[in-house]
Amino acid sequence: MSSFDKYQTPLSTRYASAEMMKIFSARERHSTWRQLWVWLAEAEKELGLNISDEAIDQMRKHVVVTDDGFKLAQEYETKFRHDVMAHVHAFGDEAPAAAGSIHLGATSCYVTDNADLIFIQRALDLILPKIAKVVQNLQAFALEYKDMPVLGFTHYQPAQLITVGKRAAQWIQELLMDLEDIETVRERLQFRGAQGTTGSQATFLELFEGDADKIVQLNKILCKKAGFPSTYPISTQTYTRKVDLRVANVVCALGATVERICADIRHLANLKEMEEPFEKSQIGSSAMAYKRNPMRCERITALGRALRGLPANFANTFAQQWFERTLDDSAIRRMNIPEMFLLADSILLTMDNVTNGLIIYPNVIRARIDQELPFMATESILMKLASHGVSRQDAHEEIRVLSHQASAVVKQEGGRNDLLERIKKAEFFKPVWNDIDSLVDPSLFIGNCPKIVEVYCKGEVEEALARYKEALASTTTAQLSV
């Protein structure tokens, strides 16, 4: 059957990276199972079990599952209706000297769960530097525009001025929270190791003739081989699904972060103040040739929405684990774990592309400021009049009347804000006529924004990025194929 005749997830066909797709591929999954069996046999031999060198050599030579190996495993699974045992037999057929030693003392979750933990670890290691790359892009952007005044919004209504860089710094702060949370979960990730069918280690205690210290050594060897600091101290048949939920809570929070950032960019695109990159031959609409739709940010928003909704599945799976294990965690985890990381990866690739090429329109930004700044400047005008001995209450009333007149021009006639011209013509304000232009310089209304941005980006942000210095040095901005 052609690939065009069966459903394929858009995450693999359109959005995610080859590196992330490989982690969750069938070959990687089942080859990792074989690697775990090799490590188990090596460790058991080291601790005194009778496993031949020939058996281990044959296992090592056939760690990577070939296409023929998959066909053989599929035949066995049709017969046994058990995927792990199917691969045990297929591996044994290719490494006959090891057939009696493969999976010795282990339960299915020795390979399935430990493999999942390996994949989670690798996937976390793949997305962390990608978050750092997006942060680095925004850091450069924030510093470049730390001084550029822009209209701030509260309730999506005009508010005090900030700077373009200050708004970007807010996005950075939220992404850094995700980065730090994911780093923490990555650091605390542990291995299941060899724990037996219900976590009692009974089979291994029997193999080692009652020597519990050898089980401790076995798990230390396995952890070292797999690259984990230790095993979880308590296991059932599985590692607790609380681990999956813990990972999902931090990874999926990234979905909410990027939705929030892209909502800002999409609104600013509507205002024509900022746009995502738009390629020379890109088409915005099949009907409206003039359109420049924010399709990258819309894609991120859609993927982010899917990602941030996944923790509910992980929570339900964890909550429904009865006693030492129930198999209703299996099918959903096969979907949810890869999907979570493919979504995060897809999002970060597109976020990298967007944040590395943000377009600013200074003239539009200034025009919007000019529409609102006269109202904001009235407090400064009041203070200036007071310094000339004019009653504040009298001045307040004069400004109130003129402000409503100017507001009517804007709202009812579609005109521009002419409040300053009205003030310059009113005799009441003659003492400050010569000061008015200087009082409405936008740079006077941005407060400490430039310093806030510089201190943050060159301090806390730089410190966080230093942990990824090597990875960032070898990373180029993602180019989107579709």
Residues with catalytic function: 155, 285
Whole-angstrom CA distances from 331 to 145, 235, 254, 317 are 48, 20, 24, 10
**Pair of tokens at residue 308:** 């941030």
Cite the DSSP H helix spans in 47-107.
53-61, 67-80, 83-94
Are the C-beta atoms of 96 and 439 separated by less than 8 Å?
A: no
DSSP code per residue over 453-475 = HHHHIIIIIHHHHHTTHHHHHT-
The rounded distance, in Å, linking the Cα atoms of 438 and 444 is 9
Find all residues with CB under 8 Å of 276, minimum gap 6, and list them: 265, 269, 294, 296, 297, 354, 357, 358, 359
The rounded distance, in Å, linking the Cα atoms of 297 and 284 is 13
Classify residue 260 by its DSSP letter.
H
Are the C-beta atoms of 172 and 457 separated by less than 8 Å?
A: yes
Are the C-beta atoms of 230 and 223 separated by less than 8 Å?
A: yes
Classify residue 101 by its DSSP letter.
T
Beta strand 157-163 pairing with 149-154: antiparallel
Q: Which residues of 74-112 are buried (b: 16+ CB within 10 A; e: fewer)?
A: eebbeeeeebbbbbbbbbbebbebbbebbbbbbbbbbbb
64: region left, alpha or beta (phi > 0 left; psi from -120 to 50 alpha): beta
Which has the closest alpha carbon to 423: 367, 369, 365, 380?
380
Other CB atoms within 10 A of residue 36 CB: 24
Find all residues with CB under 8 Å of 45, minimum gap 6, and list them: 51, 56
Helices and strands of the chain, counted as H and E runs: 22, 4
Are the C-beta atoms of 190 and 232 separated by less than 8 Å?
A: yes
Which has the closest alpha carbon to 139: 445, 362, 468, 481?
468
